[in-house]
C-alpha cells in the first residue's frame, strides 16, 4: 500500500525542525522528503541529506522539464521545491513522507494529496517569543531575524488552511500533541 503524507509548515523559529527531529525518532515509518534548493549549503549541510543543492540554472532547467510537484521562490533568487521523483521514491516503498515546506507549498501539497495527507501548522505563542527564539538559536543576523519576523506575520494568516494547528508553547506538550495526531491519522 502507498504511504501517507505529513506536511509541516511554520514561520521560521516556531520550533518546526525541533518537533520534526523528535518525530523522526518515534518509529512512525516516516521518511523526510528531501527538497531541492538553489540556496547555498549552511554549516555542515550536505547534498542529499538536508537538501539537493542545485545551481539556479539547474533549478530552472528542472522547472522547465516539469520535475517538480511544487516549487516556490521563497526568498529572492532562492528556489525551493519538491521533486516528484523524491516523493514517488518514498511513497512507492510504503513509507510515509514527511515534508518541511513553506506555507504556500504546504497548501499546494495538501491540495494535491487530499485525504492521503495531514497538514500541520506549527505556530509560536507570539511574535515576541518568536524573536526571542530566533535570537537564542544564534544562526541569523539581526537583519535576517527582522525579515523572518515580518514574513511570519504573513505566514500566520495561513494557519486556518491547515488540517491541524499546534501552538508550540511548551515543547514537550507540542511534541506529544503532534505525535498523537499523527498516530491517529496513520491508523485511519
Q: Give the residues lining the site for ligand 5GP (CB under 6 A).
A: 12, 35, 39, 70, 72, 74, 80-82, 100-102, 105
Among 43, 48, 114, 136, interactor with ligand ADP by CB under 6 A = 136
Out of ligand ADP, ligand 5GP, none, which partner does residue 114 contact, by CB within 5 to 8 A per kind? none
Half-sphere exposure of 152 (CA within 13 A, CB side): 23
CB of 187 to ligand 5GP, least distance (A): 27
Residue 10 binds to ligand ADP (criterion: CB under 6 A): yes
Residue 110 grid coordinates: 495538501
Grouping H, G, I as helix, E, B as strand and the rest as coil, residue 15 is coil
Closest CA to 9 of 135, 90, 105, 79: 105
- For Cα atoms 72, 66, 107, give the angle at the middle one, nearest 5 degrees: 40
User: Judged by CB under 6 A, does residue 119 bind ligand ADP?
Assistant: no
Contact 106, 162 (CB under 8 A): yes
Residues 14-33 interacting with ligand ADP (rule: CB under 6 A):
14-18
Q: Which residues bind ligand ADP (CB under 6 A)?
A: 10, 12-18, 133, 136-137, 168, 170-171
Amino acid at each position: 500500500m502507498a504511504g501517507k503524507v505529513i506536511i509541516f509548515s511554520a514561520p521560521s523559529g516556531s520550533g518546526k525542525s525541533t518537533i520534526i527531529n523528535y518525530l523522526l525518532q518515534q518509529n512512525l515509518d516516516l521518511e523526510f522528503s528531501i527538497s531541492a534548493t538553489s540556496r547555498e549549503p549552511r554549516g555542515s549541510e550536505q547534498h542529499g541529506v538536508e537538501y539537493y543543492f542545485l545551481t539556479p540554472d539547474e533549478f530552472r532547467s528542472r522547472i522547465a522539464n516539469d520535475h517538480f510537484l511544487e516549487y516556490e521562490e521563497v526568498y529572492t533568487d532562492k528556489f525551493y521545491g519538491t521533486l516528484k521523483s523524491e516523493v514517488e521514491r518514498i511513497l512507492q516503498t510504503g513509507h510515509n513522507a514527511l515534508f518541511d515546506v513553506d506555507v504556500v507549498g504546504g497548501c499546494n501539497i495538501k491540495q494535491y494529496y487530499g485525504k492521503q495527507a495531514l497538514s500541520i501548522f506549527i505556530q509560536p505563542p507570539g511574535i515576541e517569543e518568536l524573536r526571542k527564539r530566533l535570537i537564542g538559536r544564534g544562526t541569523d543576523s539581526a537583519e535576517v531575524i527582522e525579515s523572518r519576523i515580518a514574513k511570519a506575520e504573513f505566514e500566520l494568516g495561513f494557519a486556518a488552511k491547515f488540517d491541524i494547528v499546534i501552538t508550540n508553547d511548551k515543547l514537550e506538550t507540542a511534541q506529544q500533541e503532534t505525535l498523537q495526531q499523527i498516530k491517529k491519522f496513520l491508523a485511519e
